[in-house]
Amino acid sequence: MILKFIGNKRLIDFFYIFLIFALDRISKIFVLNLSEKYSQLELYQSSFVNIFLIWNKGIAFGLLSFERNNLYNLITVLILVIILILFVLVFKSEKLKKMSYIFITGGALGNLFDRIIYNSVPDFIDVHFREFHWFIFNIADIFITIGVICLIFDEIILERKRHD
């Protein structure tokens, strides 16, 4: 009965969202286990990428980091509401927009899970060139960023072509 209500297309959407969530969880569990095993936060270094575990209490790329529990909880609830809206957008969208919302939703669920379980999000990918370091991020952030870039591309480029 439930499967009939949900439908095959929505099941596929859920599968992709779950796949992104699972990739994020697996990568974080791997890094957390390595960090615990070797009792260190810096796990790998190269010329352009380091694996360096930090705990992010803010939102994307450590923005709005804070210690106040009420504000943290408010932002967590806000993220949950946004994820629910994203689910609706996934089911109402098509093509590139649908995949963009799937990417964002899967990544957002991964980071929301961490906010609830750990009270912060483990970030560990440190991309750098010489002394310039980008914000440290995780797999969920990659999917969220790709999803947002695809949405922007769809709105600016593809939407213009649809109206020409």
Q: Which residues are tagged catalytic?
A: 123, 141
The beta-strand segments (E) located in 47-113 are 49-56
Buried b (16+ CB within 10 A) or exposed e, 87-105: bebbeebeeebbbbbbbbb
Three-class secondary structure of residue 33 per DSSP: helix
